[in-house]
Structure 1
Amino acid sequence: MKKLFLSIVSFCAFLNTTAQAQTKNNTELIALATYIDSSVESQTSAATNALMNKLNQIVSASGLSSNYSRFILTANVTPRTKDVLGTAPTTIAYTMDVTFYIGDGIDGTKFGSITKTVKGVGSNESLAMSNAFKMINSADKDLQNFIVKGKEKIINFYNTRCDFIIKEAKMLEMQNQYDEALYRLTSVPDVCTSCYTKAMTAAESAYLKKINFDCKTQLQEAKLLWAANPTTEGANAVSEMLSGIDSRANCYAEVKTFVTTVAKRVKELDGREWKLKVDTELGLEQQRIKAMRDIGVAWGNGQPKSVTYNVGGWW
């Protein structure tokens, strides 16, 4: 009986460990941005970079980081003691509470917080603060559990607001803002199974509209370019402009007709064969998914680095 009890306990422990591992693996797929509010920056002064580096380390240790995301990890600093040590040269000793927050920086919803008390010594205040921030262990178990719990709330955000996210993306499509629409849709992590499926279906629709829009725009620009410079050099510029057009675009047949005209002229000019190189791999599903995500990531990375998030009332 004792052996059976031990076996049951061991099995339960195994299930618990497995569940924790699955949760950790799921949350690792959630990307966070790091942010320091201006009110905190004014307190930390020249030590702000050290605090930002620590935030980045914590995020990297827990999975994915992002240059732009509505979900953020931020921190506030509260000095507890400041001592001037009577040594030669004089040094400053700080004891500080660093409170970390995770939440939705767009809606201003705080998901949770955790405080770590650290100490640092330096020849001036900034160096003492920097040394204190460096004492924070980015792999600290409590910190990482805090991140995991916060990311679980992010997963819940996607699951409960899925229809609204897709509706917002549709509105962006109507304004020809396809890149941002794809960013929002492809930001849904695949661990949110139901929402992810809906989002990818909507992303496919947005992507098709984008390639149709881009095809018309780029073809028109290529025609203007060719009309202004109907030479071999102009043909090469046309090729570069049209090479990214997806073969599934509605105007692709028109592209091929135009390319035939250009090729005929190049043949007349110098007797060379000229062909447009097109990425045929985009027709494959995995390549399309990657292309959609790449567009979204590029849009996110192109956002201003000085985004001001809504953290009012978080501390």
Structure 2
Amino acid sequence: MKLTRILVIPVLLLLAGAVSAQNNAGKTDDVGRVALTPFIAENSNIPTASSNLMRSKMRAAVTRMGLGTSACGRFILTLNADVVSREITPTAPPMVATVLSPTFYIGDLSDGTLFASLTLPAVKGVGQNEEKSYMQALKNINLNNPDFAKFVGDGKEKIIAYYNTHIDFIIKEADALSGKGEHERALALLMGVPTVCADAHARAMKHVGTVYQRKIDQESAEALARATGAWAASPDATGATEAGEWLAGVHPLSSSAPGAAKLQSEMKSRVKELADREWTEQVKQNREEAALAQTAMQAAKEIAAAEANRPVYYTTVLSWW
């Protein structure tokens, strides 16, 4: 399978977290598990009509083996199926018989590193036309066998080794993303370090709190500035209502929390009739809920899960498949 320069549509750089061990993850969420993205290249031999079929087969196979799957990810499981033979059967009506040689690959889409490959025994499909015979042959590929399980296991070990040896770079990349205001991607990157990589995972989780604090500080500072501006522009009931809506976005654990409390107190003293208005209650409710429920780790996990299906575009040269 020869891939030249391609632009991948939905491919994120990782994702997700759980606290259970990889081999016992079962049907828990994929955050924290080694994850593979089932992927079919546009210039592979797989017909477009068969792409969804094969992605589903691959997703089911890796899930059975305890790995996570993501809609978008840098570590991919893909295949190409070369046509060994194709002939018209001497039947009435005549049918097309296609024999395929399927080869699977696990690799890093971001830099073109191949981790593992496996060619399975040839499969045959018969259909009314070439496309249907090809699809039938793909359906006959057996992914529930020891060879495929070993292949996926080898790929998993290579991915684990990647995280263990690249944790310093992962943390630096997360810091760089956070420094550009891309806190969600930074948290997703850190939360994506699998729990089976014990030391690397511990270091990544330790850094989650730092990145999360930057996120809430930045967002809360922006919200407080908006609230302050709204109140300065209109120091009356209308301005207080608008400012209150912005204050609801100030996280109680952020560095802007004291300033938000001070502004709210000022507005209450100047516009006393607003003390029991709905916006005041909403601000109070939001703050109580955030303080009780959203620890940094919980919030980071939610953010990472939300980021799992956001596309990140890789333009890379894959010369090895």
| Partner residue in 1 for 2:90 | 86
CA change 1:256–1:78 in 2 (3 A) is same
| Partner residue in 1 for 2:205 | 200
> Is 1:218 aligned with 2:226?
no
Q: Is the 8 A contact 1:40 1:76 kept in 2?
A: yes
Match of 1:290 among 298, 301, 309: 298
Q: CA deviation at 1:246?
A: 2.7
Tell me whether 227-236 or 193-202 shows the greater mean CA deviation.
227-236
Q: CA deviation at 1:249?
A: 0.1
CA change 1:289–1:64 in 2 (3 A) is same
Counterpart of 1:161 in 2: which secondary structure? Answer: helix
- Name the aligned partner's letter for residue 103 of structure 2: T
Q: CA deviation at 1:260?
A: 3.9
Greater share of helix: 1
Give the TM-score, by structure 1 length.
0.79
Q: Is the 8 A contact 1:173 1:181 kept in 2?
A: yes
Q: Please give the per-residue CA displacement for 1:262-315, whole angstroms capped at 9, x wherever unaligned.
A: 5668862696463212254655798421211222332342225xx456462332
Tell me whether 270-279 or 194-203 shows the greater mean CA deviation.
270-279
| Partner residue in 2 for 1:18 | none
Tell me whether 278-287 or 61-70 shows the greater mean CA deviation.
278-287
- Name the aligned partner's letter for residue 43 of structure 2: S
Q: Is the 8 A contact 2:85 2:99 kept in 1?
A: yes
| Partner residue in 2 for 1:16 | none
| Partner residue in 2 for 1:107 | 111
CA change 1:89–1:309 in 2 (3 A) is farther
- Name the aligned partner's letter for residue 56 of structure 1: R
- Name the aligned partner's letter for residue 309 of structure 2: N
Q: Please give the per-residue CA displacement for 1:59-112, whole angstroms capped at 9, x wherever unaligned.
A: 332321112222111111111111211323332111111111111111111010
Q: CA deviation at 1:148?
A: 1.7
Q: Please give the per-residue CA displacement for 1:231-270, whole angstroms capped at 9, x wherever unaligned.
A: 689838944x554543110001122233345566886269
> Is 1:156 aligned with 2:161?
yes
CA change 1:126–1:264 in 2 (3 A) is farther
CA change 1:286–1:209 in 2 (3 A) is closer
Q: Is the 8 A contact 2:250 2:256 kept in 1?
A: no
Match of 1:129 among 134, 142, 165: 134
Q: CA deviation at 1:23?
A: 7.3
- Write the distance in 1 (CA, Å) between the matches of 2:64 and 2:89: 35
> Is 1:302 aligned with 2:305?
no
Match of 1:54 among 48, 57, 62: 57
Match of 1:179 among 172, 184, 187: 184
Q: CA deviation at 1:210?
A: 0.8
- Write the distance in 2 (CA, Å) between the matches of 1:176 and 1:270: 35
CA change 1:270–1:207 in 2 (3 A) is closer
Counterpart of 1:40 in 2: which secondary structure? Answer: coil
Counterpart of 1:39 in 2: which secondary structure? Answer: coil
Q: Is the 8 A contact 1:61 1:139 kept in 2?
A: no
- Name the aligned partner's letter for residue 288 of structure 1: A
State the structure with bigger RCO (CA 8 A, min sep 6), 1 or 2: 2
Instruction: Tell me how many residue pairs correspond in the alignment.
Output: 290
Q: Is the 8 A contact 1:232 1:266 kept in 2?
A: no
- Write the distance in 1 (CA, Å) between the matches of 2:255 and 2:267: 20
Identity %: 34
Counterpart of 2:47 in 1: which secondary structure? Answer: helix
Match of 2:68 among 41, 57, 64: 64
Give the TM-score, by structure 2 length.
0.78
What residue ranges of structure 1 are gaps of 5+ in the alignment? 1-21
- Write the distance in 2 (CA, Å) between the matches of 1:97 and 1:148: 22
- Write the distance in 1 (CA, Å) between the matches of 2:59 and 2:239: 46
Superposed CA RMSD: 3.2
Tell me whether 65-74 or 280-289 shows the greater mean CA deviation.
280-289
CA change 1:121–1:176 in 2 (3 A) is same
What residue ranges of structure 2 are gaps of 5+ in the alignment? 1-20
Q: Is the 8 A contact 1:37 1:308 kept in 2?
A: no
- Write the distance in 2 (CA, Å) between the matches of 1:311 and 1:131: 31
Counterpart of 2:162 in 1: which secondary structure? Answer: helix
